[in-house]
């Protein structure tokens, strides 16, 4: 059985790591490089770097920050934010990223997923899917959750798989930052509807939530920010907890 992954996430804006609730009310969560160094030493399986205001501000992720982070970590690094072309993806890879995460641009021009996958391989393409529940439907949103699309979560997940995505980062906007646990309902539906890995995101508040994301949500990896950024738990603690409950992890 493949080991389940624990992935801390650096939501970055203005040169700092931030954390909000439901994608709003951002508060400072420390230095980008200090957090990156910490997670590299903490047995994190991967690290995600998301420039959360790039798409809103119609600009590109700061390559200098990506380069600095890539120079500090020796675990797979995924970078997202404002990646709207194969050329931009190339720049991100050239600055040390192992994977790129696309969201807004993928909705606006789905062929971008295929073009990046064809050039760099599906394993290098993560599609971030931000969902918000409305009238019983989990609708996909773009521009850091500010704009609703016409796609439902399962429909879009299956489409991005066919287009060549190697992985899905599924974030519940309703749970983001609340520390009330992942939305295991939609997580399970998406995870069982595709054969590519799905990363759970949005709502982790304790170690049991991670466990539930793997068992109830059928996720392949669990992404978390608040519980790790503010040292509520260490990644080592999380992995030991999961191993003690029968989840295969790398320790």
Please state, in angstroms and rounded to a whole number, the distance separating the CA atoms of residues 102 and 251.
Answer: 30
**For residue 54, pLDDT beyond 60:** no
Q: Are strands 125-134 and 137-142 parallel, antiparallel or unpaired?
A: antiparallel
Nearest CA among 99, 87, 88 for reference residue 123: 99
pLDDT digits (tens, 9 = 90+) for 147-184: 889 999 999 999 999 999 999 999 999 998 888 999 99
Higher-pLDDT residue of 100 and 135 is 100
Q: Are strands 137-142 and 167-172 parallel, antiparallel or unpaired?
A: unpaired
CA distances to 86, 146, 213 from 248, rounded to whole Å, are 35, 36, 14
SS3 236: helix
Higher-pLDDT residue of 50 and 87 is 87
Catalytic residue among 45, 98, 130, 212: 130
Please state, in angstroms and rounded to a whole number, the distance separating the CA atoms of residues 180 and 171.
Answer: 13
**pLDDT at residue number 56:** 46
- Total domains present in the chain: 1
Report yes or no on 225 lying in a domain: yes
Catalytic residue among 11, 45, 98, 220: 11
Alpha-carbon 210 to chain mean position? 14
**pLDDT at residue number 18:** 79
Report yes or no on 251 lying in a domain: no
Please state, in angstroms and rounded to a whole number, the distance separating the CA atoms of residues 238 and 36.
Answer: 18
Report yes or no on 250 lying in a domain: no
**pLDDT at residue number 116:** 98
Q: What is the DSSP string of 153-205?
A: HHHHHHHHHHHT-SEEEEEETTTTTT-S---HHHHHHHHTT-SS-EEEES---
Report yes or no on 249 lying in a domain: no
* Mean pLDDT, the chain, whole residue set: 91
Q: Are strands 16-21 and 5-13 parallel, antiparallel or unpaired?
A: antiparallel
Report yes or no on 188 lying in a domain: yes
Q: Is 212 a catalytic residue?
A: no
Q: Is 130 a catalytic residue?
A: yes
Domain that holds residue 179: 5-244
| CATH number of the CATH domain containing 184 | 3.20.20.70
Report yes or no on 183 lying in a domain: yes
Please state, in angstroms and rounded to a whole number, the distance separating the CA atoms of residues 208 and 215.
Answer: 10
Report yes or no on 165 lying in a domain: yes
pLDDT digits (tens, 9 = 90+) for 72-112: 999 999 999 889 999 999 999 999 999 999 999 999 999 99
Report yes or no on 110 lying in a domain: yes
Nearest CA among 128, 159, 162, 158 for reference residue 145: 128
């Amino acid at each position: 059985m493949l080991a389940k992954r624990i992935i801390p996430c650096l939501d970055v804006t203005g040169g700092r790591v931030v954390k909000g609730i439901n994608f709003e009310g951002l508060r400072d969560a420390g230095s980008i490089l200090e957090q990156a160094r910490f997670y590299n030493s903490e047995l994190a399986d991967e690290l995600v770097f998301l420039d959360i205001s790039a798409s809103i501000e119609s600009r590109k992720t700061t390559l200098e920050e990506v380069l600095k982070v890539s120079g500090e970590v020796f675990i797979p690094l995924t970078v997202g934010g404002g990646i709207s072309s194969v050329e931009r993806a190339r720049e991100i890879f050239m600055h040390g990223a192992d994977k790129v995460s696309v969201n807004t641009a993928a909705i606006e021009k789905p062929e971008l997923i295929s073009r990046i996958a064809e050039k760099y391989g599906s394993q290098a393409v993560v599609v971030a899917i931000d969902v918000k529940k409305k009238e019983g439907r989990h609708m996909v949103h773009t521009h850091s959750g500010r704009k609703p699309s016409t796609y439902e979560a399962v429909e879009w997940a299956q489409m991005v798989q066919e287009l060549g995505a190697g992985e899905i980062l599924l974030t519940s906007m309703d749970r983001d930052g609340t520390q009330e646990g992942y939305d295991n309902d939609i997580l399970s539906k998406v995870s069982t509807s595709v054969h590519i890995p799905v990363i759970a995101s949005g709502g982790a508040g304790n170690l049991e939530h991670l466990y539930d994301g793997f068992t109830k949500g059928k996720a392949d990896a669990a992404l978390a920010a608040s519980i790790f950024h503010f040292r509520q738990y260490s990644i080592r603690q999380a992995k030991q907890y999961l191993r003690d409950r029968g989840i295969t992890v790398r320790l």
